[in-house]
Every structure is written in structure tokens, then in C-alpha cells.
Amino acid sequence: MKKLFLLGCIAMVSLISFAQNNEGTNDDAARIAMTPYVDASLNFNNEVCKQLNNKMNQILTKQGLAGMYNQRFIITCNADILSEDIVVTTKEMYQYELGVNFIVGDGIEGVKYAMASQNVKGLGETKAAAYLAAIKKIKPADPAFQQLINDAKKKIIEYYNSKCDFIITEAQTLAKQQDYDAAIYKLMSVPDVCKECYNKCMAAAEPIYQAKIDQEGAVLLAEAKNVWNAGQDGYAADRAGAILAQINPQAKSFAEASKLGTEIAKRVKELDKREWDFMVKQHNDEVDIKKANIKAMRDVGVAYGNHQQPTTYNVRGWF
């Protein structure tokens, strides 16, 4: 029996997990991120790659998933050729029976968590067409895949619970290197199904996010000052205002930015006899601020993850 490792590409989805002993909400914070991945060790064509990724996305979607990227946890697949036949009807046709295995695990440490298989047959005028026809017959709604996901959830939650302190330490190290986005991404990747670890990571993320917006605010304020000081006219005022408007209201530099905005407005009125408004959105109360910061941190984490290069995964011994 031949075993073929399937060539493919990476897609981004996330796996919704359950809250403690019950099914979780549809909020993104409750989701365990997972990346569909097909090993590129052999030369399958793009259409097979596309179909396999589609099937893995469908398997996850059937479990109520959304779209977040994770560098560690993957769902991958391979196929065993169970039989290869030539069928003669009005013309010669090829027929494959495949045993397709779907596996979930930690792609960084190379730890396999769970596996589910499905046998499919395909008929085609060429071997490639028969193989592709078989792949297309994979049924993502198979109960075996639901069990696969449920088994994997438990292992992933165990990982976060056991590695929580290490995750926080790694994030704090990244923050000290001023790699704030990477630090926030690491902390925000912990789903709230891991309640204790999630709360710890959220608490650790807040000062890192504050350091990020403080640094960005200081840079923007300096840029706005340079623009204004170089021109001190209506054009410079508008350019400086656009820069100042990017400063987060919670940044340390916001008060000085507001002061500069007031000074610019006064000067513009003297020069052009017109009102110049420096408008920055401010949150009304502490609850609004907290909600806005949580959303902003999630956005930072998602954006960072989405712009990462594909990870080289360790799937040795999985098939």
C-alpha cells in the first residue's frame, strides 16, 4: 500500500471551543485558533491542494469556526491508496480508493493529538482526475470529524493551562524588546475557555498595550510638531492635525497633543480667520475605555498573525 503525503497551502480559520464544561459563545475570545496545513513534501497539483484545504476548512466550519490564524495548532491530512483499478466501460477509466486521514496536533512541538479517517472512491479518465474525484467526495459532516475536533480541544486547552506562565514570560520578553505586537498576539491567542490563563494573559497584555500606544503616541506627537514648526500655515496645520488625530486618547502624549492642537487652532484663526478643529474621539467612561482597549488588543493580535510568514511545521511520525 502506497502512502502519499499531500502537497498544499495554508489557510486561516479558528476553532470555536467550549466554555469550561459547556459549549462556548460565538465571541472571538472563546475561540481556539487552528491552521489547516498540508505538507509540501510531494508534488500534488494546485487543484488537489485547493480541494484538501477546502475540505479542512469545511470540517472546521461544521464545528462553528471563524477566522483567526495560529502558528502552533494545525489540522493536516494525508492519504493512503487502498486500491487502484482500471474500469472499462465505453472507454478505459481509472478508479482510486483512498483512505484519507485528518490529524490535529501541535505543529511546533510535533505532538499529534487526534486523528480521524474516511475512505473515498473516485473515477476519472486519468489517474490525477480519479484521485481528485475521490478527494472531492470527502464528507466534512462525518461524525468522526466532530469527535476529532472535540478530542483536540481538550489537548489544546491542556496546553494553554500548563504553559500559561511560560506564555506570559515570553510575551513580556518580547515587550522589553519593544516587539509589542508580537507580545500582544501571543497573549491574545489564549482563548477565554482557559479562564484562569485567559485572565492572567489579559492582565499581562494591558501594560504592554499601554507601552505600545505610549511609544506610538510619542512618535506621532514629535512628527506633528516637526510638521507644524516647519510650516506654521494652514497646510501645515491640516497635516499636523491628521497626525495628531492618530494618537490614542489613552496615550501619555495625548494631553500634550491636545495642547498642541489648541495652539495650532489659535494660530490658524489668526492667519486665515477660520476655525480649525482638532477632533479626537474620546471614550465616555471607564467601561467604554476597557471595551475599546480589549477590541484594540484583539485587532493588534489578529493583524500581527495575519501578516506572519507560513510556519514550517513538524509532522514527522504523524502519518
What's the pLDDT at 276? 62
Is the pLDDT at 17 greater than 60? The verdict is no
Question: Under a CB-based contact definition with an 8 Å cutoff, are residues 91 and 125 in contact?
Answer: yes
Residues 210-214: contacts with CB under 8 Å, at least 24 apart? 210/250, 211/175, 211/180, 212/180, 212/181, 212/184, 212/300, 213/248, 213/250, 213/251, 214/251, 214/252, 214/253
- By CB neighbour count within 10 A (0-12 exposed, 13-18 middle, 19+ buried), where does 258 fall? middle
Q: In which element (H, E) is residue 182 found?
A: helix 180-188
User: d(Cα 136, Cα 319) in Å, to the nearest integer?
Assistant: 21
181 versus 192: which is more confidently predicted? 181
pLDDT score of 277: 60
DSSP for 101-144 reads: EEEEEETTTTEEEEEEEEEEEEEESSHHHHHHHHHHT--TT-HH
Q: Phi, psi at residue 289, to the nearest 5°? A: -60, -45
pLDDT (tens digit, 9 = 90+) per residue, 61-102? 887 654 456 668 899 998 889 998 888 777 889 999 999 999
Q: Name the pLDDT band for 310 (thresholds 50, 70, 90).
A: confident
> pTM for the full model?
0.74
- Whole-angstrom distance, CA of residue 77 vs CA of residue 172: 35
The tens digit of pLDDT for each residue in 164-178 reads 999 999 999 999 999
pLDDT per residue over 212-266, tens digit each?
A: 999 999 999 999 999 999 988 888 998 999 999 999 999 999 999 999 988 988 8
Residue indicated by cell numbers 505610549? 214
For residue 66, the 8-state DSSP code is B
DSSP-derived secondary structure for 294-309: HHHHHHHHHHHHHTSP
Q: Looking at the domain 3-162, which fold is it? A: Double Stranded RNA Binding Domain (3.30.160)
The count of other CB atoms within 10 Å of the CB of residue 97 is: 16
Residue 23: pLDDT over 50: no
The residue extents of the domains of the chain are: 3-162
* Residue 268 contacts residue 232 (beta carbons within 8 Å): no
Tell me what the mean pLDDT of segment 112-116 comes to. Answer: 95
Rounded CA gap, 157 and 231, in Å? 56
**What's the CA gap between 78 and 75, in Å, rounded?**
11
Could you give the percent of the chain with pLDDT greater than 70?
A: 82
